[in-house]
Amino acid sequence: MIMKRKMEDSCKEKCRPQMSEEQEQLIATLIEAHHKTYDSSYSDFGQFRPPVRKDEFDSSDDCSMPEAPTDCSFGSSTPGESSMNSGNLGLLASFENFGQSASNMTSPFSMLPHLSDLVSYSIQKVIGFAKSIPGFRELNTEDQIVLLKSSVIEIIMLRSNESFSSEDNSWVCGSEEFKYSISDVTQAGHNMELLEPLVKFQIGLKKLNLHEAEHVLLMAICIFSPDRPSLLERERVEAIQERLSETLRAYIVCNHPPPSSHLLYPKMVQKLADLRSLNEEHSKQYLEISREAGDPSDLTPLLLEVFGSPLS
Ligand code: YS9
């Protein structure tokens, strides 16, 4: 214990010219903010609408739901029972979704309600994290909104790396029920064009083996991107991002041992570039999903506000 104390002191001594007290404090603040907004036990996930996974090997697309069965048969009438309709039944039944009202129509995107709730929940957590980054609250409200709206999907992709497992390319959030595979995301309406780069991004980020300090600094740097469209006070955003980047560089020099520290900073900057293209592709796919979703309430009001409503 005494030995450890001495080690830490000597390290601090060595770092003093590179890491200021203020920078140490900034890192402590970000880590605390992250702990308050990222629950590693994923205990809230049970409150989301449940995940509905369609059997990959069953293409029959029947209406049966694993948990809450909804009546999507043709009422109680069996062929021949109703004298009026019996002659038509064969023909009418051949029309897809005949007999289903809009409310019990099976959405083609069975995972959308659950993943919408997960993303909606994550957005709220990201807002909480952003608000505790020194300087954020001091920006004008319009810029706060611009920064959050434009970065939130990027931050969700970044923070999800904590649950991502490179073993089987899935996000593991506790139980089997909350383990998200690539196929789950395609069942929310997204296609491989976006999913493949997202998974590659996760694998590459995992390989960087970031310290927690680096992980939280990367998220903060991403939020304070001065090149987001229609910012009013770009220079102020840039100044805050500069402070964060300097802190990250100093942290790596002082605390990240070689060889994994090699080119770490530029590799992290590259991840921010990757996120831009993921963000752009997501916007396009989201627009399609929100138009095609059978039921608009599959999404949430917050999702519609942040990513846009097809009606606006
Ligand atoms: O377009 C919508 C709104 C439906 C979002 C689409 C996202 C996919 C876009 C690329 C294909 C969404 C479905 C993705 C984004 C991040 C998620 C992905 C939600 C699929 C499931 C895994 C994942 C994030 C995992 C998290 C779990 C945990 O780490 C989110 C994070 O905030 C956590 C709390």
Give residue-wise pLDDT tens across range 254-280. 999 999 998 999 999 999 999 999 999
Helix runs in the chain, H state only: 2-15, 21-37, 86-93, 112-131, 141-159, 182-186, 192-207, 212-223, 234-255, 264-292, 301-307
Is it the case that residue 54 has pLDDT exceeding 60?
yes
Q: Give the atom of ligand 1 at the shortest distance from the alpha carbon of 160.
A: 29
Torsion of CA 129, 158, 114, 59, to 10 degrees: 170
Query: Which residues lie below 8 Å from residue 14, measured CB to CB, with a gap of 6+?
Result: 254
Give the whole-angstrom CA distance, residue 266 versus residue 264: 6
Ligand 1 centroid – CA 118 distance (Å): 7
Is it the case that residue 76 has pLDDT exceeding 90?
no
Ligand 1 site, residue 194, Cβ cutoff 6 A: yes
Ligand 1 centroid – CA 208 distance (Å): 21
**Lowest mean per-residue pLDDT among 91-95, 109-113, 258-262:** 91-95
Give the whole-angstrom CA distance, residue 79 versus residue 164: 50
Q: In this predicted model, what pLDDT tens digit does every residue of 203-229 receive, in sequence order?
A: 999 999 999 999 999 999 999 999 999
Q: Give the atom of ligand 1 at the shortest distance from the alpha carbon of 285.
A: 1
Ligand 1 centroid – CA 299 distance (Å): 13
Phi, psi of 171 (to 5 degrees): -100, 120
In Å, the largest CA–CA distance within the chain is: 92
pLDDT given at position 296: 87
pLDDT given at position 302: 98
Q: Please identify which residue in the block is written with the tokens 């780069």.
A: 197
pLDDT given at position 55: 79
Ligand 1 site, residue 198, Cβ cutoff 6 A: yes
CB 151 within 8 A of CB 228: yes
pLDDT given at position 179: 98
Nearest residue (by CA) to ligand 1, atom 28, is 160
Ligand 1 site, residue 155, Cβ cutoff 6 A: no
Percent of the chain with pLDDT over 70: 78
Is it the case that residue 122 has pLDDT exceeding 50?
yes
Torsion of CA 53, 54, 57, 61, to 10 degrees: 180
The mean pLDDT value for 233-247 works out to 98
Helices 21-37 and 234-255: angle between axes, nearest 10 degrees: 100
> How many residues in total does the chain contain?
312
**Lowest mean per-residue pLDDT among 85-89, 217-221, 284-288:** 85-89
Query: Pick from 155, 149, 150: which is nearest to 129 by CA?
Result: 155
* Reported confidence tier of residue 15, pLDDT bands at 50, 70, 90: low
Higher pLDDT, 257 or 71: 257
pLDDT given at position 81: 33
User: What's the predicted TM-score (pTM) here?
Assistant: 0.84
Query: Pick from 253, 225, 218: which is nearest to 240 by CA?
Result: 225
Q: Give the atom of ligand 1 at the shortest distance from the alpha carbon of 157.
A: 16
Give the whole-angstrom CA distance, residue 4 versus residue 298: 53
| Other CB atoms within 10 A of residue 66 CB | 12
Ligand 1 site, residue 160, Cβ cutoff 6 A: yes
Give the whole-angstrom CA distance, residue 254 versus residue 30: 18
Q: What ipTM was estimated for this complex?
A: 0.98
Ligand 1 centroid – CA 49 distance (Å): 15
**The pair of three-digit structure tokens given for residue 170, joined into one six-digit string:** 């899935």
Q: Three-state SS for 133?
A: coil
* Reported confidence tier of residue 18, pLDDT bands at 50, 70, 90: confident
Query: Which residues lie below 8 Å from residue 18, measured CB to CB, with a gap of 6+?
Result: 250, 253, 254
pLDDT given at position 75: 29
